[in-house]
Amino acid sequence: MTKPIEWLGDSLDVVREFSETGRYHTGRELRRVQSGEMPTDWKPMITIGRGVAEIRIHAENEYRIIYIAKFVEALYVLHSFTKKSQQTSKQDIALAEKRYKELQWERAKK
């Protein structure tokens, strides 16, 4: 079964600004996750939350997709961005954390 993708905040708009190659690889990697497989290049982002991971896309630029797929109803893309330095910026991590907390709050209301 393929999970639907829920794009939080401006994450979809940001992916639309990736290069053509970046968008292609983003789609392929997210399709793998939707189908229950692991992305080809990823790392856990436990500082953001349990089950949160980052897909690494290597194209003309370095692109990142922070997501959580542990919930049965959907794959949630918390944040997407073009990585500009060796270390993920504190702003990018803070934004993903904020969206994850908001997601948890919304899910608790249901």
Per the CB < 8 A criterion, the answer to whether 29 and 65 are in contact is yes
- Domain residues for the domain of 18 are 5-109
Judged against a pLDDT cut of 80, whether residue 1 lies above it is answered with no
Question: CATH code at 66?
Answer: 3.30.2310.20
Judged against a pLDDT cut of 80, whether residue 42 lies above it is answered with yes
Render pLDDT for 47-102 as a digit per residue (tens, 0 to 9): 999 999 999 999 999 999 999 999 999 999 999 999 988 888 999 999 999 999 99
Q: Which residue has the tokens 């994450």?
A: 11
Domain count, the chain: 1
User: Which of these, 74, 94, 75, 79, lies nearest to 14 by C-alpha position?
Assistant: 79
How high is the pLDDT of residue 109?
87
Per the CB < 8 A criterion, the answer to whether 54 and 64 are in contact is yes
Per the CB < 8 A criterion, the answer to whether 77 and 6 are in contact is yes
Cα gap 66→97, rounded to integer Å: 10
Percentage of residues in the chain having pLDDT higher than 90: 91
How high is the pLDDT of residue 110?
73
